[in-house]
Copies of this chain bind each other. A is one copy, B any other.
């Protein structure tokens, strides 16, 4: 939202160009009905005088309303997506003053059907712009096509699909975050004998795994710097607490040479719970995202570090960018907006939001 308030008004322009306000307005919004001659003259005068329309007067007069739809996973308080939702809320409050409404269409991140339904409902609303967390590739492509053909701009949040014609992307550089994670996990210790990568077992196939790139970055770092270190995957089901303990007991629990554990999603607190209950204190544990439960584990020393991102700010930026685009017709400043990766430990986490 960069438009400068300018002292030059549409009246000044009209006078200087020898036409009426109406004509100037028609030129500004190129809605035709203007002779080439007047058009050129007005354009020249606008340039000479440095006229910038007053956005607020414009909004006041037009009383136009726009709607931005967000297609975002549903979640419970404290879960990953709640931060994003918070950012969207905040943004909604701000842009409401420009006559822009923000509405969310939620979906179950483990259900293609629910994603499809969310997409359909959004398309049927004929929104001015769309923000979407593209959890399912094919359905996202369908959505993208549908929106594109209606001339509705859309942006990706958190992850992206490159060959969809998105207006902008806001998210973390995933591969690099895995690389960073490996550095932190291994930094300043003896060479780890083995690293446990705890993963969520997904029963459905066809789900796009948003952390795949992160895992790749991690593996590349390890292969390069610690080729001798063993990597063992441990699959758990987040909904089945008992089985988590079982699985971890059979793996991490048996380790004798110093426990190194990572997770690439936001659920490291599951591991922290286990370690804490078992009284394992000699571990090096690194995870992602500053969920309350993760930060608690950071503070009590069970987790060594978290790699976090301000998804709320990310969402806010996205909504703002979309609003700018809608109101000002601004071509977005940057197409791929990579958020910074924040390293959190027990000493700086208190000041993280």
Contacts and interface: CB of A to CB of B under 8 A. Distances in A.
How many copies are assembled? 2
A4 B96 contact: yes
B347 A183 contact: yes
Interface string A166-208: 0000000100100110010001110000000000000000000
Nearest to A307: B348
B340 A348 contact: yes
Interface residues of A, number: 39
A205 to B, nearest CB: 32
A3 interface: yes
A1 to B, nearest CB: 6
Interface string A310-348: 000000000000000000000000000011111111011
Contacts of A94: 1-2
A56 interface: yes
A230 interface: no
Nearest to A186: B188
Nearest to A2: B93
Interface string A1-40: 1111100000000000000000000000000000000000
Interface string A101-133: 000000000000000000000000000000000
A184 to B, nearest CB: 8
A146 B315 CA distance: 42
Interface string A43-87: 000000000001111011000000000000000000000000000
